Structure 1
Amino acid sequence: MTGICANRVVVVTGAGRGLGRAHALAFAAEGAAVVVNDLGAALDGAGASDAPAREVVAEIEAAGGRAVAHGGDIATAEGASSLIATALETYGRLDTLVNNAGFLRDRMLVNLTEDDWDAVVRVHLRGHFLPLKHAAAHWRAETRAGRPAAARVIGTTSGAGLLGSVGQGNYSAAKAGIVALTLVAAAELGRYGVGVNAIAPAARTRMTEGGFAGLRGLPEDVSPLVVWLGSGGSEGVTGRVFEVEGGRVTVMEGWRRGASAEAPARWTPESAGATARTLLSTTPPPLPPYGSTPTP
């Protein structure tokens, strides 16, 4: 097949439904061979089924593309390792990793259980780290063997990870962690020819249809940028976060040093407080978390 990802091998986690499915189909349409990972869990992470991944593989093959299903739990070392091994054993290479798997267990903080916290942080943050770790080890070995990579990693954060979201403390924390992981990976893996970026998508999926019914974008609106980021054409783009909704793409700007002051001697609590208030008076307020009540 032809396309901007012809001859590339792409792994997409959480690719049985929603955004991941759209990404997998879009990569295949641009010529990539796709490893379709999905545990087949419910919205809260319960249960498992290989049907969603197999159905996406069937769609890709029916359109003339190449794909293989992987039903392992990528938040385990064994599952993440076998995911990367599936790409290498089936197609002989790995060019792009799209980390997308996740689920929700929304609660206000006072009602959030340890299990709700651990489960969501595990699938989103650990589920990004482990596939990335195993893919990076492969690309490092290839570089050391004289076969430098032109590899790409795309993580999936969220507006909740950038601004916070009321009732989603666990999800927001995990998604914020993915941004930091993206920045670290971009700095560490550039020497091996790996570009690492993240998207903050907003689209109508089964994860968002309950609490964010007003979303206008579809998963298929997000995938074109993901495919480009996963292609050779994105060379030199790394350590970036893009917000994508409908037809809009926004480059997100992270923390930057703003107004500051320095004391000639150690601050007292009173002088530190007075200085902080002065600095804040010249600094725009942060954007409010999703679902919050604006301050009067």
Structure 2
Amino acid sequence: MANAGSSSRQAAWEFYGTELKNRREAAGMTQQELGRRVFVSGGYIGQFEQAIRKPQLDVAARIDEVLQTDGFFERMCRKLIHNSRYAEYFAAAAELEALATRLCEFAPTIMPGLLQTASYARAVILASNPFISDDHIEEKVTARMDRAHLLKNPAKPEYWVILHEHVLRLPTGGRVVMAEQLDHLLALARRRRVLVQVLPYAVGAYPLMGRMLTLMEFEDAPPTAYTEAVYSGNLLDDPALVKRVQAAYDLLRASALSSEASLALIESAAEDYRRCASTT
């Protein structure tokens, strides 16, 4: 189960490799000859054909020129390999997320993607991509909102989230956006679609300091954990390691406020944002 995303990407690589081999042989070229003409080694071409190496966009464009394939490999590279709605490191986790029967998440700095409003998501995306076009921002926002559709299913997944208090206090997108975001979170909690706890500042040091975490459980597969760092993510499916991660999450849960106290704190933070916004 934890390899679902990598399997789909591998299939795309294999399709690319098969087509490359067929077109190369039809042109009467060896791997070495094609590699020399596109400025890589013959072994490099062989790795593409065997789906060992991820196809590279610049090399694909040069292959099209040499094999006179009218942009075929560049288009394949863009559509099959590089055209994902999500960052490459997150794509497999997004696939698993949609299959999970239970999600347990910890967010130390920003609201989890499944809980974000469009305005909040837009502010987060723009902060990390200040030169991005408006169209690209809206594509990313739409992808994030589409992910959240799984919370409209009343049956699954069961979703438990622990937010560090920092998530509530950081005015992402401004006061109006934050008030709207916290109201959205409260609405989901009141509909019993998500169980929310807040880890308060007063706790001080805590397990998994500064690291976001998602634990995923499935009907027919072992549990998997996903952690994320700077432009990178890791899917963990080793049973012993997942057990350690679960233990860390249990410690976070024990240190967090109760659900009732957490919702009261979120309501207070939302009201503070509204009051401050109305006076400016």
TM norm. shorter chain > 0.5: no
Q: RCO greater where, 1 or 2, for CA within 8 Å and sep 6 or more?
A: 2
| Largest Rg, 1 or 2 | 2
- TM-score class, shorter-chain normalisation, is under 0.3
TM-score by length of 2: 0.28
Which one has the bigger helix percentage?
2
TM (normalized to structure 1)? 0.27
